[in-house]
Amino acid sequence: MTNSFLMRNPSTLWFLLGLSLFTIVVTALSDAGIGVMSTSFVKTLGKTLCLCLIAVAMDVVWGYCGILSLGHFAFFGIGGYAVGMWLMYARTEGIVLDSFASQTIPPTPQEVTDAIGNQIFGVVGSSEFPMIWAFSDSLILQLLLVVLVPGVLALLFGWLAFRSRVTGVYLSILTQAMTLALALYLFQNDSGLRGNNGLSGLQNIPGFEDTPQSTISLAFFYASALAVALGYVLFAWITSGKMGSVIKAIRDNESRVRFLGYHVESYKLFVFTITAVVAAIAGALYYPQAGIINPAEIAPIASIYLAVWVAIGGRGRLYGAVIGAAFVSLLSSWFTGGGAPAIPLGFYTIQWTDWWLVLLGLSFVAVTLYAPKGIGGLFDYLVRKPS
Amino acid sequence: MTRVLLMLAMLLGFSPAAQAQDLQNLLQSHAEEIASPGRRTVGVVLDDLAGSGIPQVATFLEQWQEKNVWQGPEGLFFIATEDGDTLTLTDIDSGAQSTAPAADFTQLKPNGGVRRVIGTALVQFQLMDPDLTRRTTAVASIARRPEASQLAPLLGSIEGESDAALKARKIQLANFLSASFADDPADRIAAITSLSTDVSVEARAVLNQILSTSPGVAAQLPSDANIAQVLTPGAEISLDAAYALLVDDGLATPITTAEEIKSALAANIVDGRVGDVPVVQLNTTDNRASAYAQLAAAGTVPALVTTADRDATLADYVFFETYDEDDATITTAAKTALASVETRVAVGQAADLTLDALSLASIYFLAAIGLAITFGVMGVINMAHGEFIMMGAYTGYVVQLFVPSYTASIIIALPLAFAVTFGAGVAMERLVIRHLYHRPLETLLATFGISIALQQLAKNIFGTQARPLTSPAWLDGALVFNDVVQISYIRIAIFVLAVIFLFLILFVLKRTRLGLEVRAVTQNPGMAASMGINPDRINMLTFGLGSGIAGIAGVAIGLYAKVTSEMGADYIVQSFMTVVVGGVGNVWGTLAGASLIGFLQKGIEWLNPSNTLAAQTYMILFIILFIQFRPKGIVALKGRAAAD
């Protein structure tokens, strides 16, 4: 079954092949191989893979189903927070237990909890564990939350929105409002998630304190690559076949699909929820590599950037989303990181750290106007040319 | 001139006869007490001086208090300033100046207590000073630190006060003072009752001062004290706070804290055990308690006091609050007065909240009205709308760089901001939006691209720090109704601007040829075109109009908030929600949406004043739910116009 599905989708096989080659090349160049690639660059690539995964999810919900969600980065952030809570708790627990070990009297469980609470919530002037940290001592439960919280949130939100037939730009604005509400909530100090300090020190994985970061970053890189591969196959499967046709039909003419007897809301809800879950998984892989998460990451603008990546890469084709996310985010870090050379104009020197966003914004307008198919559209050109 | 002086003298209560005496003689008769004054002896001197009615007394007392009075070799007093070795002397009576070597003179240095007594005595002189500013200062200093001794001079000075405003203030202040300090309880009650209509912060402070309480504890409720309320531990007073009272009074021993237990245990480890409990097992509270109990039984540490002991002890005592004021009739009157004041304050706060909400609503309305045209009427999602607001604000800032007069600059800035953003809007419509009319989602993304480009451009040109847009002086300050209800003039101006724009846009859309054509093109472009209307031109003008209004809103918002490159982004989501909540395609809808959001936000802020972020969060959640029930907004279009 899977075989035949993959056979029908050669682009998926090509993508998996490319991803495997990329992974092998990165391994060979990293410290595990000849060591010319720095650990931080391996991390950047790992993070980029996570962004590719959420871009693929975004492409499915927008490019295939026609729902321009400006809230998927919120799910990404929730995933990051869920896993970050465990990372922070477990690491702080280790530190606290170490400090208690030097005392003559062994600590009571209450003392340990209080000390951890003090360490984590001291910055927001509290030491009590909020309710939402109830499961933070268990990795398995927190990993479940990575999937469950965004899943339930997306299900609830989607059900409310689709049920009352909120579509098009209204839905975009509504999802944006949801993202803004979440970001504003997290900015509060009494949200229980350390306000605008966010969660930090996530790059230190409890239990692997002695493992060098180069090994950890490579492990996360593999995990991200695997997640992208699995996510890609999952979405390729969803968007192919009969279901894929219905989803695309909803994008093209929702009323007509409804009149044909399909329950449009269920399809939309399914796509919205599953992409939200995948986005959260991407976030859960991203933030341990980034090391820090704070509410600013969730702000509505991040979700709009996500749409920008997908649009530049090419909507309605999964590899387009991957290309867009990888291309724009790597280019962006090259430009803003000062990697791009400044251009002297005689009377004025263009510093790319200042002008990159202007370039990005304008090129985005240009892509929307002149190349609605994005970079992925080039492949059509290449494939069609020989025939 | 003489008549004026005479009248003044009479007003001040001086008899002309007394003026004949000169101050130096009077001072000489008290030379001993003045040269080395004590807090008790100085009273007699001050009474004599005050009674003498000599006009120079006030100056003398001031200088004496400031340690500027020197005693000469013959015992005469002079006001003097020291300059190296020489003194510049001023004669106390005539004011004639002379110099003398400092060595022959002694400076009078009254101590702090004496200076305070002098200060109090000075008050009555200052209260009746012919100079209005000095009288005002004196009244203000009384208001800052009211004391019982100031009541009599204050009351005495009311009669002769010539300035009406100051007289009212003196009466008010005298009222406060007599509420707190009058000798006769009936006077105090009368003063307190008269405060029940005064919502000023001062009046409330006076009443609260009278009603101040202190907690007490006893085995039996005392019958002679003026009890405010009985405190039940665990209800009106926390168990710990109640126990702390007992501990403070020496009636109980403090609870042994976990820390104390721990350090006691750590100090008494013998062979890896405390009592018979091995140290490794001391990781539970129970084991620690039992180990501690063994230590206590052996007498090495004080007995363990647990929370159970605390609760048992608490049961034996009564906790209560007594008024610091002993007279129950006065506290009852103050309580009644305060309750009445608080009702008035609550009404005032509701009014103030309404004003705040109105002003917030008008800001949202201004920010959203341009969007209501481009999004609501044309159906174009313009994410760069916020940047047009920013552009307008920066236009105002640039105009102020060139035009120094704030009033003139604002008058120039408003039409200029309109022109600039109108141009930008028309350019954007021609270059970008025109091509995307059938792809609304892509308009959203393209305009977002423009938005980030414009934002960064502004950052590159004007820098990241906030730029000021200064309002003209006549917009400074606030319209103050009382201490509770007030609104700044700038907010009133924004409100007025919002109202003007509401009617202006209604007029343009409903009463002009352009408005007719705009409505025609929105409803059916094809049909409009066949009627001889050029839809391209109309779309361009409509978009320009919406953008231009955003520019004017930018100037208004810039006056009230700071001008930064990100100011537009702060308003964009709210603006869209305003339009969506209100109902797309309808100016009244935008007004309804802005009012709803403004009032809602202020209302939530009022419920949770410490946290404006939470207010915004809940408001957005409310809006998301609201849209579930009215997907088309408050004012929904009906019929054909409502079709997507």
pLDDT by residue (tens digit) across A122-156? 888 777 888 888 888 888 999 999 999 999 999 99
Our CA-based measurement puts residue B282 at a distance from the nearest CA of chain A, in whole angstroms, of 6
Distance (Å, rounded) from C-alpha B72 to C-alpha B49? Answer: 20
Distance from CA of A57 to the nearest CA of B (A): 18
pLDDT band at B14 (very low <50, low <70, confident <90, very high): very low
In A, minimum Cα distance to B618 occurs at A181
In what helix (H) or strand (E) does residue B71 lie, and over which residues does it extend? strand B69-71
Dihedral angle over CA of B393, B396, B397, B401, nearest 10? 170
Q: What is the mean pLDDT of residues B83-87?
A: 80
Q: Cβ–Cβ of B445/A364 closer than 8 Å? A: yes
Q: Say whether pLDDT at B39 is over 80.
A: no
Record: contact A173-B262, CB cut-off 8 A: no
Contact between B253 and B362 (Cβ < 8 Å): no
Question: Phi and psi for B320 in degrees, rounded to 5?
Answer: -155, 165
Q: Is residue B121 scored above 80 in pLDDT?
A: no
What percent of chain B has pLDDT above 70? 95
What average pLDDT does this structure show over B245-273?
Answer: 83
Residue B91 has pLDDT above 60, yes or no: yes
Cα-based angle A338, A339, A342 (whole degrees, multiple of 5):
70
Q: What is the pLDDT of residues B199-208, one digit of tens each?
A: 888 888 888 8
Question: Model confidence over A248-258: pLDDT tens digits?
Answer: 999 999 999 99
| pLDDT-wise least confident of A127-131, A195-199, B1-5, B327-331 | B1-5
pLDDT band at B138 (very low <50, low <70, confident <90, very high): confident
For residue A172, give the chain B residue with the closest CA.
Answer: B441
B620–A177 CB contact, under 8 Å: yes
- Residue of chain A with shortest Cα separation from B454: A358
Mutate to test the interface with A, among B624, B625, B637 (most CBs of A within 10 A): B624
pLDDT over threshold 60, residue A329: yes
Name the residue among B452, B569, B580 with its Cβ closest to that of A361: B452
Sign of CA dihedral A134, A140, A141, A143: positive
Distance from CA of A187 to the nearest CA of B (A): 7
Q: How many CB atoms lie within 10 A of CB B12?
A: 15
Dihedral sign for Cα A32, A38, A43, A48, please: negative
A108–B285 CB contact, under 8 Å: yes
Contacts with A275 (C-beta within 8 Å, 6 or more apart), sequence order: A57, A58, A60, A61, A69, A72, A154
Q: How far is CA B336 from the centre of its chain?
A: 27
Contact B269 A104 (CB under 8 A): yes
Strand partners, B82: B87
Rounded-to-integer distance, Cα B607 and Cα B619, Å: 12
Q: Output the pLDDT for position B637.
A: 63
B449 to A360: CB separation less than 8 angstroms, yes or no: yes
Q: Residue A154 has which token pair?
A: 């997306």
**Residue numbers in A near B442 (CB within 8 A):** 311, 368, 372
Contact B590, B579 (CB under 8 A): yes
Across the interface, which of B383, B457, B620 has its CB nearest the CB of A358? Answer: B457
- Cβ–Cβ of B631/A164 closer than 8 Å? yes
Average pLDDT over residues B214-235: 83
- What is the helix (H) or strand (E) element at residue B338, kind and residue range? helix B328-371
Contact A141, A135 (CB under 8 A): yes
Pick the more confident residue, B415 or B170: B415
Edge-to-edge order in the sheet of strand B77-83: B97-101, B86-91, B77-83, B69-71, B106-107
For A188, the closest of B283, B614, B620 (CB atoms) is B614
Q: Give the mean model confidence (pLDDT) for residues B412-438.
A: 92
| CB within 8 Å: B449 and A361 | yes
**Among B94-103, B363-372, B392-401, B611-620, which range has the highest average pLDDT?**
B392-401
- The span from the CA of A298 to the CA of A294, in Å, is 8
Q: Rounded distance, CA B282 to CA B371, Å?
A: 68
3 state DSSP class of B97: strand
- Find all residues with CB under 8 Å of B491, minimum gap 6, and list them: B355, B359, B362, B560
Q: Are A250 and A268 within 8 A, CB to CB? A: yes
How many other C-beta atoms can be found within 10 angstroms of the C-beta atom of residue B138?
24
The reported pLDDT for the residue numbered B457 is 92
How far is B601 from chain A, CA to nearest CA, in Å? Answer: 13
Q: How far apart are CA B511 and CA B516, in angstroms?
A: 7
Q: Measure the CA–CA gap between B3 and B22, rounded to whole angstroms.
A: 22
Q: How far is A78 from chain B (nearest CA, A)?
A: 16
CB contact residues (below 8 A), chain B span 243-272, against chain A = 258, 262, 265-266, 269
Q: Which amino acid is at B345?
A: V
Question: Are the C-beta atoms of residues B479 and B486 closer than 8 Å to each other?
Answer: yes
The vertex-B549 CA angle with B543 and B551, nearest 5°, equals 105
**Nearest of B372, B364, B389 to residue B455 by alpha carbon:** B389
| CB contact B451 to A (< 8 Å) | yes
Cα A319 to Cα A10: distance, rounded to the nearest angstrom: 12
Contact A357 B613 (CB under 8 A): no
Which residue, A273, A266, A234, A237, is CA-closest to A250?
Answer: A266
Distance from CA of B438 to the nearest CA of A (A): 12
Q: Match 């603008």 to its residue by tokens.
A: A301
Picking from B375, B433, B456 by the largest number of A CB atoms within 10 A of its own CB, the best residue to mutate is B456
CA A75 to chain centre: 8
Q: Please indicate whether, in this complex, the C-beta atoms of B456 and A307 are within 8 angstroms of each other.
A: no
Chain B hits for A357, CB-CB cut-off 8 Å, are 452-453, 455-456
Q: What are the tokens at B73?
A: 């070799």
Is residue A235 pLDDT above 60, yes or no?
yes
Q: Kindly list the distances between the CA atom of residue A43 and the CA atoms of A83, A117, A285, A319, A338, in Å, as whole numbers in the listed order.
A: 17, 30, 11, 22, 18
Distance to chain B for A364, nearest Cα, Å: 6
Partners of residue A363 in chain B, C-beta under 8 Å: 449
pLDDT at B51 over 80: no
Q: If you count them, how many residues does chain A have?
A: 387
- Taking an 8 Å cut-off on Cβ atoms, the answer to whether A368 and B445 are in contact is yes
Helices (H), chain A: 2-8, 10-29, 39-58, 72-101, 109-121, 139-163, 168-187, 213-239, 241-252, 254-259, 264-290, 300-313, 318-336, 352-370, 377-384
CB contact under 8 A, A165 and B631: yes
Rounded-to-integer distance, Cα B319 and Cα A108, Å: 35
pLDDT at A298 over 80: yes
Confidence of residue B276 (pLDDT cuts 50, 70, 90): confident
Give the 3-state secondary structure of residue A199: strand
**Facing B616 at nearest CB: one of A107, A184, A311:** A184
Q: Which residues of A touch B576 (CB under 8 A)?
A: 173, 176
Give me chain B's average pLDDT, please. 83
What radius of gyration, in Å, describes the C-alpha atoms of chain A?
22
Residue in A68, A105, A178 nearest the CB of B282: A105
Pairs of CB atoms within 8 A across A/B: 154
Question: What's the DSSP call for residue B270?
Answer: B
Place of tokens 């005539």: B94
The answer, for B448 touching chain A at a CB cutoff of 8 Å, is: yes
Max Cα separation, chain B?
112
Nearest to A358 among B439, B446, B453 (CB): B453
Which residue among B279, B432, B644 places its CB closest to the CB of A104? B279
Burial A223-249 (b: 16+ CB within 10 A, else e): bbbebbbebbbebbbbbeeeebebbbb
For A105, the closest of B266, B454, B457 (CB atoms) is B266
Average pLDDT, integer, range A366-381: 81
* Of residues B449, B620, B629, nearest to A362 (C-beta): B449
**Residues B617, A183: Cα–Cα separation, whole Å:** 9
CB atoms within 10 A of CB B415: 14
Stronger pLDDT, B573 or B389, i.e. the higher one: B389
CATH number of B346-642: 1.10.3470
Q: Which residues of chain B form CATH 1.10.3470?
A: 346-642
Closest by CA position to B370, among listed B387, B348, B356:
B387
In this predicted structure, the answer to whether residue B361 has a pLDDT above a threshold of 80 is yes
Rounded to 5 degrees, φ, ψ at B215 are -75, 150
Judged against a pLDDT cut of 90, whether residue A189 lies above it is answered with: no
Residue B564: which of B460, B458, B418, B453 has the closest Cα? B458
Inspect the interface and report whether the beta carbons of B282 and A362 lie closer than 8 Å: no
Locate A140 and state its tokens: 């398995």
State the greatest distance between any 2 C-alpha atoms of chain A, in Å, as a whole number. Answer: 81
| Reported confidence tier of residue B3, pLDDT bands at 50, 70, 90 | low
Query: Cβ–Cβ contacts within 10 Å for residue B358, how many?
Result: 20
């129970």: which residue's tokens?
B286
**Lowest-pLDDT range, A315-319, B25-29, B409-413, B449-453?**
B25-29
Contact residues for B25 (Cβ-Cβ < 8 A; gap 6+): none
B158, two tokens? 């009311």
Question: Rounded CA gap, A236 and A225, in Å?
Answer: 16
Residues of A in contact with B282 (CB under 8 A): 105-106
- Please give, rounded to a whole number of angstroms, the shortest distance from the CA of A5 to a CA of chain B: 32
Residue type, B116: R
- H/E segment holding residue B36: none
Interchain proximity B580–A165, CB inside 8 Å = no
Q: Up-side HSE of residue B632: CA atoms within 13 Å toward CB?
A: 11
